Amino acid sequence: RGQAAILPVPNRCGLEVFPEDSAMGGGKPLRSSGRWILCSAAVVLALTLEGCVSSSAVVYDDEPLVKPTTSRTAFRAYDLPPGYFEVEPQPKTTPATTTTETHSPSRGYATSAQPSTTTDLIRRVPLVSTTSKAVLVGTFEPISSTVQEEVSSTIDAAESARSTTTTSTTTTTTRATTETTKSTTRTTTGTTTRAPQAQTTPSAGSHVPDWARGNLSSFRNCYLAAPLKADLGCALLEESRGADFGLNEFGQETTAKAKCLDRVRVLGGNTFVFEVGHCQVWRCSSRVSLRASAAPPAGAGVEVGSPADDGGDTVSFLSFHGTYLQVERVLKVVVANSKTDGPDSRFQILPNADGTVAMFAPGSGYVSAQPSCALIADRPEVGGWEKFLMIQNEDGTVSFKTAHGLYVSARSGGAVLASSGAIQAWEKFQVVRHNLRNATREESNTSTTTTTTTTTTTLQLGDEVNPNASVYSDLCEFQEGNGGRGGMDRRAPIFVKLWEWNYNDIARECKEYLGPNGFDAVQVSPVAEHKRGAQWWTKYQPISFGLSTRSGTAEEFRSMVADCRAAGVQVVVDLILNHIATPCDAARRPSDDDVDVAPCKGWNGSTYGNRRISGARGWDAAHPEFFHHKPGNPLRGLCGVGAPTYLCGSPVTTDCSCCKCDLHGLPDWNTELAEVAEIHHRHVKELHDIGVTMLRVDAALYEDVGDVSRTLNRFPWDYVYMEWWGEYPVGLHDKYIGQYRDVALTWKISDTLASEKNLSKFASGIFDLGQGVFGVPDEKAIYPISYHDKRTDTAVQEVASYKNGLEYQQQQKFLMAWPKMTRILIWGGYGYSNIEEGPPGCDNGQDVCNPEPVFGASGTMACMGTPAVSPMPEEEAQKRGWVCEHRWTGVAGLVAFRRACRGLPVSAPLALVASADDEAAGAGVLGAEGRAAFRLGEECLVALVKGTNEKWPQGYGHLGDWPLRGLASGLPAGRYCDVASLSQKLAEGATSCPREVVIGSDGVVLSGSALEGDLLAIYTGALLVDPPMPSRRLRSSSR
């Protein structure tokens, strides 16, 4: 009949769905009518196939949603990943009542009675889905709410019948999504309350068929504000309080978060809000709904009518400059160049359902914030760009934040742009209300005058944000560039990799430097027990899942995680699930049966052999059958992968063609085995329980996406990224594992700032810098400035390394200052004379070594100072010691700059306003080759000068420092600190700075310079305070 019903049925797969006209009144179940029953962990979808879908609308996924299995079953359950899928019916069979296995990722398999299909019709139906819902593409008449109400009372009875028999057909249904949304939840301490929902009981001895081994969706920290608000597309399914959601034995909340995620999967939700002792399970209809529900502000306090209501209230907005916002009637552009409050400056403010407001200009249209930063009043309806977050300031003014995360700013020249990253004077507006409904008319002989009453208005925010609650969902991406209230606050995640640091030093660095300066996370070297040796790569060859390594003991690791998290710094673990270590020489030699099969010893004493580990925990022991191997010969790998092609018979690696091959001869785990999956699960669970919330997945290209997803995604994560080498993504890895390491951007930065010899390309090359790896967008990438796999024994200009000295320093500063990259990874490592060497204190040839600590006995750091030349002098570059690049001057100061300026639009080139005297003195040589300056939004400025290299002369010599006097910065007047000259973040109320810039009242630079080979960065958050005038005492003299 061309109808479709989408019914939210958590854990009810294999249920019969009846036609609407049967109303459960003796009608027959859907069999050969062309309607089939599809199941996922959260949805039962009944659909009519005949004549309802155009074949031109079908887009196919590589893997069918439902595959034919045997003739006795109807449809099997399948975990629905996002995308379009084929649905194929079963082969033609004899009508009969048969048993169908159904599956929920969180509860396993169950059996239920199911009518067999009696048609051989092959139709392909497009479905758009997430892991917790399916949406039919097309236009359909929904099942009526009356029928939904009539059948809802049968749910419990039907579920009870299903649990007692598998030989008779059971009838059940559920309320529709609209009813779920309307349900209310009552919460009491120590209890769990939710709307009644039937549960499926797993059958004994159930198993997961190979074809049903689907990918498990990841739940990511959305960094959205809580609480969530219902009725904006999100429905609360369950709310629980009690000790089950408290802190674990390590004093961490991570175990409780995993329990909350378990409840999400049981109930078929897609979002949860967690606070210690408190778990809420939600289902949101879309990503847009989730973000709109994140602690939205209430509607504006101004009572106004709709655009069609001519008698509705209107308001005007008075800017800081004393001018009103108004619509230019020809171009429909919003400007602020009139001090008269006339008809063109009147707007209706209309609250939207998600807590934002729309501005309607009578006679023009809705105001839209364009990506170009302009405000245009010509839109006939409200979309994303027509929504503004209206914020009340403490001084009674209001500010507007756009969907692009920027604030509306009224410029002194009359332009109005949505280009500011922070609220300053130009972003504040006084609201003037015009009560036209109560206006009185005074007639005269020559004119009619309208008298209006004018008042200022206040805005009321919605619920207060709960800073202790976090929101996780499979609708979010990892570490998104916007979060907070309504998803409209810009974010700038910045991580540091402390390569081969010991755990005690990392803990101290978190407390004394990383936390106080605002770094988000620290990445540590692999934490599983590894083979012995002094080389760096021994850390990447695990021999057990014990946590005592060259970096410290298991107890020191747990203590480090706790200390870093207490300092506000999360911990990223370099996770190795692809392989174990190659055997030592003793295990490679032929031996008799009575010879020890595990003669090798790991760092903490655990034994291992050829494709065999004894383990350190009992549960982590593995024998050769646990690894991919030749048929009949478990001591030989199935295949190998390595240099120079790193391919396995296929032109690409993203198709998993190498997933069963030994990488560089390292025994490859057979992750399809349940025993291996359990070992990996216990290791990841322990890390998560300890408090590890972020992961780097080593060798991700050589692991099966589904296997990894089922190991990792039983836990919620704040961030996961993969070792990635530039392959074009196929859309699976980022969906089910994590984001991509983009190594190409650092190459481009090195080329542009250092190795490019043509000075005329310096500025243009900078402004062209965008994504690195082709096909990897910014929202799915993390950008390292350096990484351990791409190092050189000596300085090479094209490779970002501390050995390049000042050039590397400028490159890492630029990565922090450039606004187009959302997530970046800074490096803090050690010096080496060849790339095989491990940390200082571990020399090649040693079996066991004692790495030197970063912090000496006196508490001082044994770190290299900030370089002043390029490249670094050879003797210093080859020296064994700690380098600590993340501690070099300017890095800490730029963290706050990045948070304030990331994501702002780039304005370049900047105009030069210089007097004849200035030009004669050579001040502000704007446009000169090898120099570049750009403004970010309305409050940030960056300037840099190309350096010179003593080892590779490039023909232009020294460019010298760049005096910026005369540069039209566009920033407010004041004395600024160049934060790129700071070794720590700028102190509040600071009166001085190593390098300063002074800007006049017209926005033009009066003094300040960008140094050769360096970078300057100022922003409105780095304005210096004038020191108090010294007091003078009057001297009295006696005669």
Cα of 874 vs its chain's centroid, Å: 40
DSSP string, 545-597: S---BTTB-HHHHHHHHHHHHHTT-EEEEEE--SB-PPPPHHHHS---TTS-S
DSSP-derived secondary structure letter, 618? S
Q: 683 is written with which tokens?
A: 């290791």
The Cα 547–Cα 529 span in angstroms is 6
Give the chain's end-to-end CA distance (angstroms, integer).
Answer: 116
Q: Mean pLDDT by 10-residue block, N- to C-terminus, for the chain (1039 residues)? A: 36 33 32 31 30 25 30 28 33 32 27 29 30 30 36 38 34 32 38 45 32 75 95 92 97 98 96 98 93 73 38 77 86 85 86 86 86 86 88 90 91 88 91 54 33 33 80 97 92 98 98 98 98 97 98 98 98 98 88 73 97 97 98 96 94 96 98 97 98 98 96 98 94 96 96 93 90 93 94 94 97 97 98 96 89 93 96 96 98 98 87 52 56 94 95 88 94 97 96 97 96 98 89 51
CA 157, 163, 168, 171 dihedral sign is: positive
The Cα 832–Cα 864 span in angstroms is 13
Helix/strand/coil for 497:
strand
Instruction: Please state at what angle helix 705-712 crosses helix 674-690, rounded to 10 degrees.
Output: 40
Place of tokens 């291992």: 608
- Using alpha carbons, select from 98, 102, 133 the residue that is nearest to residue 117: 98
Residue pair 401/389 in contact by the 8 Å Cβ criterion? yes
Residue pair 256/505 in contact by the 8 Å Cβ criterion? no
φ, ψ (nearest 5 deg) of residue 1030: -65, 140
Cis peptide before 729 (omega within 30 of 0): no
Residue pair 881/840 in contact by the 8 Å Cβ criterion? yes
Cα of 430 vs its chain's centroid, Å: 36
The Cα 566–Cα 564 span in angstroms is 5
Helix/strand/coil for 89:
coil
Phi-psi region of 994 (alpha: psi -120 to 50; beta: other; left: phi over 0): alpha
Q: Any residues with CB less than 8 A from the CB of 854 and at least 6 apart, and which? A: 501, 502, 505, 509, 861, 862, 863, 882, 884
Going from the C-alpha of 999 to that of each of 46, 410, 464, 533, 1016, the distances in angstroms are 67, 19, 38, 57, 14
Residue pair 153/196 in contact by the 8 Å Cβ criterion? no
Residue pair 1017/942 in contact by the 8 Å Cβ criterion? yes
Residue pair 965/914 in contact by the 8 Å Cβ criterion? yes
Q: 557 is written with which tokens?
A: 């690791």
Residue pair 962/791 in contact by the 8 Å Cβ criterion? no
Residue pair 11/266 in contact by the 8 Å Cβ criterion? yes
Detail the DSSP E strand segments found in 430-567: 430-434, 440-443, 448-451, 454-456, 470-473, 482-483, 489-490, 494-498, 521-524
- Using alpha carbons, select from 377, 381, 382 the residue that is nearest to residue 363: 377
pLDDT score recorded for residue 593? 56
User: Where does residue 117 rank: exposed (0-12), middle (13-18), buried (19+ CB within 10 A)?
Assistant: buried
1019 bridge partner residues: 940
CA angle 178, 135, 27 (to 5 degrees): 70
- Using alpha carbons, select from 211, 715, 295 the residue that is nearest to residue 466: 295
144 bridge partner residues: none
Detail the DSSP E strand segments found in 670-800: 694-697, 719-722, 739-741, 781-784
SS3 content of the chain, % helix, strand, coil (to 5): 20, 25, 55
Going from the C-alpha of 757 to that of each of 136, 188, 797, 948, the distances in angstroms are 57, 70, 11, 10
Instruction: State which H helix or E strand residue 109 sits in.
Output: strand 108-115
Residue pair 1023/999 in contact by the 8 Å Cβ criterion? no
The Cα 778–Cα 795 span in angstroms is 29
Q: Over the stretch 463-483, which tens digit does the pLDDT of each residue have? A: 689 999 999 999 999 999 999
- The one-letter code for the residue type at 279 is C
Cβ atoms within 10 Å, residue 450: 10
- Using alpha carbons, select from 68, 70, 71 the residue that is nearest to residue 89: 68
pTM: 0.72
Phi-psi region of 233 (alpha: psi -120 to 50; beta: other; left: phi over 0): left
Residue by residue, what is the 3-state secondary structure of 166-203? CCCCCECCCCCHHHHHHCCCCCCCCCEEECCCCCCCCC
CA 653, 657, 663, 665 dihedral sign is: negative
pLDDT score recorded for residue 251? 98
Cα of 821 vs its chain's centroid, Å: 12
**C-alpha torsion 452→454→460→461, nearest 10:** 100
DSSP-derived secondary structure letter, 510? I
CA 479, 484, 488, 492 dihedral sign is: negative
- The one-letter code for the residue type at 31 is R
φ, ψ (nearest 5 deg) of residue 771: -70, 160
pLDDT score recorded for residue 350? 87
Helix residue ranges per DSSP H, 905-1017: 916-920
Q: How many CA atoms lie within 13 A of 414 on its CB side?
A: 8
- The one-letter code for the residue type at 616 is A
The Cα 684–Cα 737 span in angstroms is 14
Tally the residues of the chain: 1039
pLDDT score recorded for residue 313? 59
φ, ψ (nearest 5 deg) of residue 712: -75, -40
Residue pair 893/981 in contact by the 8 Å Cβ criterion? yes
Q: 121 is written with which tokens?
A: 């019709």
